[in-house]
Chain A
Amino acid sequence: MNLRLHIWRQTGPSDHGMLRAYNVNNVSEHMSFLEMLDVLNEELIEKGEEPVAFDHDCREGICGTCGMVINGRPHGPLSRTTACQLHMRSFKDGDEIYIEPWRATAFPIVRDLVVDRSAFDRVIQRGGFVSVNTGNAQDGNAIPISKIDADVSMDAAACIGCGACVAACPNSSASLFVAAKIGHLVALPQGKAEAATRAMSMVLSMDAEGFGSCTNHYECEAACPKGISADFIAQMNREFMKSVF
C-alpha cells in the first residue's frame, strides 16, 4: 500500500515545530507501524536528511518506550495495543496518517516524537515502592495472599509507564498512572503498611510535576494499551482521603 504521512518535526524543546508530509510506498500489511517508520527513516538518511526521532526499544508492547499519537489517538487505532504492536494491516492504501508526540506540560518535547517523561520517575521516587532493604525478607510463602488480591494487584502492576493516559486526558492528568501504582501495592499485605504516606506523597508530587487533575473523562482508560481500569483512580482517591483524615 502507499501512504501519506504527516509527521510532527521539531528539532528541540525551544523550536516551534510543525507537521511535515512524507510519502511511503510499497508498505506491506505485515509490517509493524514502527517498521514502516524505519523504512521512511532509511530513505531520509540516504537522501542526507535527518530521520524522524521516535522512542522505541522492546517492540513487544512491554517496555513502554514507544508512544506517539496516531490520527488523534495515543498509540493509534487499535485498543489495548502499543504503537510498536500496531501492524499495517490496520491501514489501507491511500490512507493519510497524522503522527504527533504526546502533548502535556509535564512531558516537554525533546525532539520530533520524543518527549521527556522523567516526571513519572520522580512521582515513583516519592513513594511508589515498599520500603524493604535487600536481605530483610521472610519466606515468600509466610504470608498467604489470596489469588483474588494477587490478580488485582497484577492488573494494576501491568502498567508500562508509557504516558498514553496523560496524552489522552484533556487535563493531562497522570491519575491513571499514579493510581495503578497505588493499586498495585495496596492490594498486597506488603504494601499496606505505607499505604497512607504513599498515597499522600505520590498525589502531591503528581500535582507538583504539573500534571492536571482528573475530572472523570475516562479517556485514559480507553487509551491505556494495558487496559488498566479507571476504577483504580477511585481507589486512589479513597486512599488519599484516608491519608488526609
Chain B
Amino acid sequence: MSFESYIPSGPIEQKWDNYKAEQKLVNPANKRKYKVIVVGTGLAGSAAAASLAELGYNVSAFTYHDSPRRAHSIAAQGGINAAKNYQNDGDSVWRLFYDTVKGGDFRAREANVYRLAQVSESIIDQCVAQGVPFAREYGGYLSNRSFGGAQVSRTFYARGQTGQQLLIGAYQALSRQIGLGKVTMHNKNEMMDLIVVNGKARGIVTRDLVTGKIESHIADAVLLCTGGYGNVFYLSTNAMNCNVTAAYRAYKKGAFFGNPCYTQIHPTCIPVSGDYQSKLTLMSESLRNDGRIWVPKTQGEARGAAEIPETERDYYLERKYPSFGNLSPRDIASRAAKEACDDGRGVGPGGKGVYLDFADAINRLGQSTIEERYGNLFEMYERITGENPYKVPMRIYPAVHYTMGGLWVDYELMSTIPGLFVLGEANFSDHGANRLGASALMQGLADGYFVIPYTLANYFAKGGIEKIDTSIKEVRDAQQQSTEKIQSLLSINGKRTPTSFHRELGKIMWDKCGMARNEKGLSEALIEIPALREEFWQNLTVPGSGEQLNQSLEVANRVADFLEFSELMVRDAVERRESAGGHFREEYQTPDGEAKRNDEEFSYVAAWEYKGEGSKPELHKEQLEFENVKLATRSYK
C-alpha cells in the first residue's frame, strides 16, 4: 500500500512539465496490449475512455445507465471555468489556482490545483473543436459569465445546459471510439466489487441490471469515474441513482477514503415541499449574477415580497460581504441563509427559504435579456413551484449538492491500490473543503482528457503487471461475494422498503452531519446509523428476483453501502475539530459566526483505511504544504 502523494519536484509552475518530461511512455504498438476498465461514463469517464482509446489502449467502459449520455454530469447548468483571460480582466493560471485554493479553505493540495488551472485552457479548446455550442458574443467570440468566489469572468457556458453540452461532446468522442471498435461499452452494468490480485487492481465484478447476470472482467488498470455520494443525504440535487457503491467497495478493498466529511451545500435550490419529495432541484449559481438575495428585516413577516418596502429588506450577503456580495462562495452563502432562517426571518412554508429577486435586473436590463440568460431556469422553477419568477421573487434554500471528499489519490490520480485510478467527483483531489462553482466540470474533464492519458502510461511503463485470467481464486471469490450479497438482500423478507431506510438515513445525516455539525449530534449519529443498519438487515423487503430488471434491488444494494459509508463520514466529521469550508463545526467559529480553521493541527487530508467489519477505520494524514499560497483567514468582506 503506498500513501505518498508523489508531487513532482520544481517550482509549482514547472511541476507538470517536469512530470511530463520525466515520465515513462508506452510505445504506440504496445498500447493495444493493455486493457483498461473505465467505470462510469460521466464527464470524467467518457473523456478518459475516449482519449485512451484514441491513444490505442484496449478500453472497456461500464455504466449503470442505459446510455453514457445519461450520466449525472448532464444536469450541470451554470458553466465551466478556464483561465483563458479572454475578458482581459486580470485572470491567469495563477489566479484560478489561487482562487481555487482559497475557495477550498486551504485544504487542497497545491500541485494538483495548479495543474488543473494549467490544463483548463486546453479543455475549452478541445470542447470547441468537438462542436460544443458555447455561448458567443455577437462578434463570434466566446462569452463568459461570473461565478461565486471569483472577481473575474472566467466561466464558459452553453445556455443553462453546460453540463449537457460538455457531456454530449465527450459522449460523442466516446461513441466514435465505440463505433471504431476501440471501446467495448457495457451499458446497464453496475460495478459490484473491485478485483485485487497481488495488491494491484486487476478488474471488477459487475451485475447486468437487465438480466441480473454477475460477471468478472479483468484488466491491467481500473479507472473509477463514478461520481459523488451526495445522495447519502437522500435529498440532494444529485440524480436519483447517484451512489457511493463503487467507491465504497474499493475502499473496503484497500483504497483510502479522503476527507469523507467534506460535502457542499448549495445555497440556491428550490425548497422542500413535502414528505413525498424525492430530490431537490438546483437553481444555478449563475442566477446570482443578476438576482439579489434577501429576507425581511423583521421576524415572522407576514406580507408578500412585493409589499415589503426596500427599507425593510435585508440583502444580507451584500451587507455582510460587500466585496463579493451575492457572489460569495457557496459555503458562506448557504450558512448565511440558514442563519437568517434560524433567526425566524425565512420566507415561504415553514420559514425555510430566502428570496432570490430579479426585479432590479429586469428593470435595468429588460425582461428579454433575463429571459435570454436564464429562460430555461425560470421555466423550470415555474414548473416545479407553480410561481412565475418574472413576477414574484424565487424562493430558495440550501441543499446538498456535491462531495469534495472521495477516494484518496496521489498526483497521478492513483489510489492507494496500485492500478486503481480515480477521476472526477469520485476522487478527493482538487477542491479542498469547498468547491467553487463551475470547477467540477473543469476537474472531471481535466482528469479525463489531459491527466490520465499521461499518468496511466507511466504506470504501465513501469511494468510488473502479470498475466491473469478469470479462473484464479481472487476473481472467483469476489464474484462469489457479490452473488451472495444480492442473495442476502433478496432473502430478508421483512417489512420496510429500501427507500424508507434511505430516507431515514438521509434525515439523520442532514440533521447531524449537514450544514452545521457539533460533537453531540455527531455522537448521536454514530449510535443511530448502526442501529438503522441493523434494522435494514433484519427488516428489509425486496420483492421480485435477482434474474431480471429489479429496481428495488438496485436501490437496496446502494442503500446498504450508504448505511456503512455514512458512519465513516460522521467519524471524519468528529475527528476534524475545526471548521473548514463546507465542514462547519459549531464549536469552532469566529465571534461573527465565520468558519474557524485550525491550521496548526488540521492542515491535512484525512485518509481513512478500512480495517474490516466491526473494526474502527484507521486515520492516516497527508500533511498539506502551502509553499505558494499564504495560509490566511478566508475573507470575502
> Residues of A at under 8 Å CB distance from B?
11-12, 28, 30-32, 34-36, 38-39, 41-42, 44-46, 48-51, 53, 55-65, 78, 80-81, 85, 87, 89, 110-111, 114, 116-118, 120-121, 124-141, 144-147, 150-151, 153-154, 157-158, 160-161, 184-185, 187-188, 190-191
Contacts and interface: CB of A to CB of B under 8 A. Distances in A.
B57 interface: no
Contact of A190 (B50, B71, B129, B380): B129
Interface string B125-144: 11111110111111111100
B165 interface: yes
A137 to B, nearest CB: 4
Contact of B449 (A120, A127, A134, A151): A134
Interface in B243-278: 273-274, 276-278
Contacts of A138: 125, 129
B173 A57 contact: no
Contact of B548 (A11, A116, A161): A11
Contacts of A38: 276, 278, 499
A63 B159 CA distance: 16
B545 to A, nearest CB: 9
A60 B383 CA distance: 10
14 contacts: A45-B552, A50-B544, A65-B65, A85-B383, A110-B210, A118-B67, A132-B130, A140-B84, A140-B142, A141-B84, A161-B69, A185-B131, A188-B133, A191-B131
A42 B499 contact: yes
A56 B555 CA distance: 13
Nearest to A115: B66
A166 to B, nearest CB: 14
B277 A35 contact: yes
B60 interface: no
B70 interface: yes
A43 B396 CA distance: 31
Complex A-B, nearest 10 residue pairs according to Cβ-Cβ distance, in ascending order: A144-B140, A125-B179, A129-B172, A137-B129, A137-B125, A153-B133, A140-B128, A134-B51, A154-B133, A150-B136
Contacts of A57: 65, 70, 72, 239-241
Q: Is the interface of A mostly helix, strand, loop or mixed?
A: loop
Query: Max chain A CB contacts within 10 Å: which of B69, B274, B541?
Result: B69
Given A110-B210, A150-B134, A157 B86 contact: no
B384 interface: yes
Contact of B129 (A59, A130, A154): A130
Nearest to A157: B133
Contacts of B122: 135, 137
Interface in B126-177: 126-131, 133-142, 158-159, 161, 164-165, 168, 171-173, 175-176
B135 A85 contact: no
Given A53-B551, A118-B67, 6 more contacts: A42-B499, A85-B384, A128-B172, A134-B173, A147-B136, A157-B133
B133 A46 contact: no
B278 to A, nearest CB: 5
Nearest to A89: B386
B497 A45 contact: yes
Interface string B363-394: 00000000000000001100110100000000
Nearest to A49: B543
A63 B75 contact: yes
B74 interface: yes
Query: Max chain B CB contacts within 10 Å: which of A38, A63, A118?
Result: A63
B173 A129 contact: yes
Contact of A59 (B278, B500, B551): B278
Nearest to A86: B383
B196 interface: no
Contacts of B164: 62, 158, 160
Interface string B173-210: 10110110000010100000000000000000000001
Nearest to B237: A60
A59 B240 contact: yes
Nearest to A152: B133
A190 B128 contact: yes
Contacts of B139: 144
B165 A55 contact: no
A175 B236 CA distance: 36
Contacts of A150: 133-136
Contacts of B51: 133-134
A38 B279 CA distance: 12
A34 B54 contact: no
Contact of A60 (B47, B134, B173, B380): B380
Query: Max chain A CB contacts within 10 Å: which of B71, B130, B241, B281?
Result: B130
Given A30-B273, A87-B383, A137-B126, A42 B142 contact: no
B552 A51 contact: yes
B279 A59 contact: yes
A120 B161 contact: no
A146 B140 contact: yes
Given A57-B239, A118-B67, A28 B210 contact: no
Contact of B137 (A58, A63, A78, A147): A147
A28 B318 CA distance: 37
A89 to B, nearest CB: 6
Given A39-B276, A48-B541, A145-B140, A139 B240 contact: no
A146 B136 contact: yes
Given A45-B552, A63-B74, A147 B129 contact: no
Contacts of A59: 239-240, 278-279, 281
Nearest to A159: B168
B450 interface: yes
Nearest to B386: A89
Contacts of B124: 140
B492 to A, nearest CB: 13
A203 to B, nearest CB: 15
B621 interface: no
A182 B282 CA distance: 31
Given A147-B137, A154-B159, A191-B131, A65 B172 contact: no
A125 B241 CA distance: 25
